[in-house]
Structure 1
Amino acid sequence: MEAVKRAYNFNAGPAALPLEVLQQAQEQFVDFRETGMSIMEMSHRGGVYESVHNETIDSLKRILSIPDGYQVLFLQGGASTQFAMIPMNLLGADQTACYIHTGSWADKAIKEAKLIGSTVVVASSEADKFTKTPDVSGLELPENAAYLHLTSNETIEGVQFKQFPDTGSVPLIADMSSDILSRPLEVSKFGMIYAGAQKNLGPSGVTVVIARQDLVENSPKHVPTMLRYSTHTANNSLYNTPPSFGIYMVGLVLKWIENQGGLLGVEKKNAEKSGLIYNAIDGSGGFYRGVSDLTNRSMMNITFRLQNEELEKQFVKESEQAGFVGLKGHRSVGGLRASAYNAVPYEACEALAQFMKQFQEKHG
């Protein structure tokens, strides 16, 4: 078979998927496990799909070393629906929801929580224009804190928590949509972790929730059925038709991660990949300027600027002509961004670093 020419895909999400995973899905697409059906065509109540569903849960538990007492859920609606589900299920009438404000996605979560009940921002990096994460070493939480929520990696600003706060008995909840499975993680520090799949886990349409059982098994009865965590925990995420093809794809991605050496192997590769691009920025003598503070640079989303917007537009234009996709910064902040998620190959990051040097030679 002739090799397929692949774009250098730096999209922020939906994002690159491993080529091996795409090829495996292609091979199995029409006839899955000799059933004469695609997995997209079969009943989610049937044994074949249910085995895929449970294998995917088991793979995630194995890769993340998820301890007993936690449940893995596959939901729909993206991380944005979780912004509302979390306070709807976990914020009592006499409690306060606590949030750390680190940028665009944290802001969306905070706004949703305020619609539900008492909400307070306990730490913020707004004064630093969200170029770093705030100091969370001595956080003071109210006595009636229901939980503390943070965004582990801000996709738009390109900042990432390198350490997580110790919240004691208050559940720590993390939106890890853009850096889940990019590095080892101690799940037991968290009451809940959630992530939209479309960056590091698989295709869009699946939202993964990893939650302590005691937090999600007794949802308030006034919450609509589909928005109760307990509905999904009681039914192994099969209360209604799940995004079955997406869950199957997540399962393939998880097997691919294990073949990369698990999370330690993936973290090493991610550090090398992002290092290539950050070195091109830092070694440019000011031609490129990194947006995020050195201590909080994201391994996933590398944000940078040039001297003016016209030059940035030229960079995007020439990069697209050279086969690069997705390097334009988010519309809310402008600039440039390279999203180097797990599945983005080392060769793509190497090619981008080389292109950046050539662009500087041409326009510097």
Structure 2
Amino acid sequence: MEKPSIKPKNPNFSSGPCSKRPGWTIDVLKNTPIGRSHRHKVCKEKLNEVIIKSKKILQLPDGYHVGIMTGSNTGALEAALWSLLGCKGVDVLAWENFGKDWVIDILDQLKIKDVNSYVTDYGILPDLSKVNFKNDVVFTWNGTTAGVRIPNGDWIPEDREGLTICDATSGIFAMDIDYSKLDVITWSWQKVLGAEAAHGMIALSPRAVQRLETHIPSWPIPKLFRLASKKKL
């Protein structure tokens, strides 16, 4: 096999399939606090800066809470499922690998009884008009492995009763998203941003926060997934 002669215009890749942001150079790592705990003052300041900048750049609505999660987007979405579901039925949509993982969680792990599962062939969107928004709704904005996305948020009503929980990891920072239609938004630094894996982020609407403050799931929640303690965010 011959060595490829054509190279990417931006060769700065990390652990994901996306290159670094325009203008990125290795110099941005000069002041990295290597070997320090995330609880160290300098590290806490850097993490807080990421949260503030993320909310500002994305122009998330006022009142949305943003946090950094372990376990990439998967950890963030799992935390939402384990911490928020259980008091309503669930509609879950899947048309690619990651969406089908959320179906497995809801049906086989959390064993929620009242579930409408809209699982379609790979890369084929389900019929969005069938979704029951009296239930909590779980879906991906843009399927990472299939590259097939929902067209927009017009199918989501403003006056929904349930929460909308969106895996937005391959859509956020890349596509126009009506955040007011989403009560839980999760993403990772890896997709689109071209940053490191293992870290995820979550944004919670006031409605999602209210759920955390009023609902305690019937199942045990691993510490890494707990978004609330004794109904406190």
TM-score (norm 1): 0.52
Q: Is the 8 A contact 2:152 2:177 kept in 1?
A: no
Q: Give 1:300's aligned residue.
A: none
RMSD over aligned CA atoms reads 3.1
Aligned-partner SS, 1:61: helix
Stretch of structure 1 that moved more, 75-84 or 203-212:
75-84
Q: Is the 8 A contact 2:76 2:201 kept in 1?
A: no
Size of the alignment, in residue pairs?
214
Cα distance change, pair 227–51 in 1 and its aligned pair in 2 (3 A): same
Structure 2 residue runs without a partner (length 5+) = none
Structure 1 residue 108 displacement after superposition: 0.9
Distance 2:96 2:192 in 1: 20
Query: Aligned letter for 2:161?
Result: S
Aligned-partner SS, 1:185: coil
Pair 1:141-2:132 in alignment: yes
Distance 1:133 1:84 in 2: 22
Cα distance change, pair 120–208 in 1 and its aligned pair in 2 (3 A): same
Q: Give 1:230's aligned residue.
A: 228
Residues 144-164 of structure 1 show CA distances to partners (whole Å, capped at 9, x for unaligned) of x2x101111112222111212
Distance 1:107 1:142 in 2: 20
Structure 1 residue runs without a partner (length 5+) = 33-37, 236-364
Q: Give 1:270's aligned residue.
A: none
What percentage of aligned pairs have identical amino acids? 20
Residues 108-146 of structure 1 show CA distances to partners (whole Å, capped at 9, x for unaligned) of 11001112022523544x2xx33332331x334275x2x
TM-score (norm 2): 0.77
Q: Compare relative contact order (CA 8 Å, sep 6+) and give the higher one, 1 or 2.
A: 2
1:143-222 alignment runs, 5 A limit: 143=134, 145=135, 147-164=136-153, 165-167=155-157, 168-201=160-193, 202-212=195-205, 213-217=209-213, 220=216, 222=220
Structure 1 residue 85 displacement after superposition: 2.7
Q: Give 2:72's aligned residue.
A: 78
Distance 1:140 1:153 in 2: 17
Q: Is the 8 A contact 1:177 1:196 kept in 2?
A: yes
Q: Is the 8 A contact 1:78 1:196 kept in 2?
A: yes
Distance 1:67 1:23 in 2: 33
Q: Is the 8 A contact 1:85 1:227 kept in 2?
A: yes
Distance 2:36 2:15 in 1: 31
Structure 1 residue 234 displacement after superposition: 6.6
Distance 1:97 1:87 in 2: 10
Distance 1:132 1:12 in 2: 28
Distance 1:107 1:48 in 2: 39
Cα distance change, pair 140–14 in 1 and its aligned pair in 2 (3 A): closer
Residues 300-345 of structure 1 show CA distances to partners (whole Å, capped at 9, x for unaligned) of xxxxxxxxxxxxxxxxxxxxxxxxxxxxxxxxxxxxxxxxxxxxxx
Q: Give 1:44's aligned residue.
A: 38
Distance 1:44 1:158 in 2: 34
Q: Give 2:26's aligned residue.
A: 23
Cα distance change, pair 18–121 in 1 and its aligned pair in 2 (3 A): same
**Residue 108 of structure 1 is aligned with which of 95, 101, 115?**
101
Query: Aligned letter for 2:23?
Result: E
Q: Is the 8 A contact 2:91 2:118 kept in 1?
A: no
Larger Rg: 1
Structure 1 residue 86 displacement after superposition: 2.8
The answer to which structure has the higher helix fraction is 1
Query: Aligned letter for 1:141?
Result: N
Distance 2:184 2:204 in 1: 4
Aligned-partner SS, 1:177: coil
Aligned-partner SS, 2:92: strand
Distance 1:108 1:59 in 2: 30
Aligned-partner SS, 1:113: helix
Residues 163-182 of structure 1 show CA distances to partners (whole Å, capped at 9, x for unaligned) of 12314222111101112110
Q: Is the 8 A contact 1:175 1:195 kept in 2?
A: yes
Aligned-partner SS, 2:23: helix
